[in-house]
Amino acid sequence: MAMEGKVIVITGASSGIGEAAARELASKGACVVLGARREERLELLKQTIEHEGGKAIYKTTDVTKREEVEALVNEAVQAYGRVDVMINNAGISLASNMSKTKVNEWDSMIDVNLKGVLYGIAAALPPMLKQKEGHIISISSEEGHETATSNVVYSATKRAVRVVMDGLRKEVQPEDNIKATTISPGVVATELTDHLTDEDLLNMMDNYILGPSLYPEDVANAITYVIEQPDHVAVNEMLVRPKPHQ
């Protein structure tokens, strides 16, 4: 019953972790508000959730545009009168060696992975402060704990997310009743690496035997666990890795 009726906004909801979280949370009674750029995927997900007996609405959202993230949160407030949980999930990984100086890709990762999270906080925090209750969850990465070779800028953005969320947790006052959680998954089988442009890395990946990985549903379960904790319990940070093969 802890999830029943909660209004949960999810960015990057059209695939991967966001899609899995939306389905899992809706199955437990939450009203999910879906944001992503691909409207056709959002519409399909909405229909799937409703077919499974859940509640979902959506708004096409590019997290690199602050006004669109604000509009997504406003959609939740207008539809349901409040926003209980904000899940900053949208992210991109454009790995390359720094010597390739793919500065445009660096900018894209900063815009989505870091500024997108900041825009999510900026949109969700005011209504949460007003209602004296809320929970902001941001998805970082295992690579935000240890710098990844050939993916330095991605690691930097994900470490920055951890810093931002730690600062948010320390800034909110006890009377605000707002929780801040960072979840850092290890390797997850998603579309995250589908947009790589570095030919050397692509060739290397073609010959690379994929090690153990998580599924989006595993991270969705972690998100659900964090939200379902009683009011007096705050999970500040969670690192979820796949179990190594024996």
Specify whether 225 is catalytic. Answer: no
Exposure string (b/e) for 192-228, b if CB count within 10 Å is 16 or more?
Answer: beeebebeebeeeeeeeeeeeebebebbbbbbbebbe
**Adjacent-strand bridge partners of 57:** 33
Gap between the Cα atoms of 244 and 174, Å rounded:
39
C-beta neighbour count of 101 within 10 angstroms: 10
Residues contacting 115, CB < 8 A, separation 6+: 63, 64
Pair type for strands 85-88 and 7-11: parallel
Catalytic residue among 58, 119, 154, 215: 154
CA–CA separation, 148 vs 159, rounded Å? 11
Euclidean distance between CA atoms 28 and 14, whole angstroms:
19
Q: Do 93 and 192 form a contact (C-beta atoms < 8 A)? A: yes
Enzyme catalytic residues = 154
